[in-house]
């Protein structure tokens, strides 16, 4: 296994954990289109968690692309 494979696996697990940690703040009905909230603003730790998730997705995508090229 190459370094790219290790980075991909670790970032995939990390990204999955981060996505599962994010709270939605809505019930099941909101997933079906019945949510009353249209615009939500992320603040505090929720914003930080969201930004770290975005960085994790970028690292995951880059490692897949580099593994594909190499």
Domain ranges of the chain: 1-17+45-70
* Mean of pLDDT values over 28-45: 60
* Mean of pLDDT values over 40-55: 83
Give the three-class secondary structure for 14. helix
Q: Which is more confident, 6 or 23? A: 6
Q: 46: exposed, middle or buried (C-beta count within 10 Å: 0-12, 13-18, 19+)?
A: middle
Q: Which of 52, 64, 60, 58 minimizes the C-alpha distance to 21?
A: 52
The pLDDT of residue 3 is above 90: no
């Amino acid at each position: 296994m190459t370094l790219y494979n290790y980075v991909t696996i670790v970032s995939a697990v990390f990204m999955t954990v981060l996505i599962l940690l994010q709270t939605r703040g809505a019930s099941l009905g909101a997933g079906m289109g019945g949510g009353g909230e249209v615009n939500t603003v992320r603040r505090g730790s929720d914003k930080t968690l969201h930004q770290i998730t975005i960085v994790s997705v970028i690292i995951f995508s880059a490692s897949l692309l580099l593994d594909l090229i190499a």
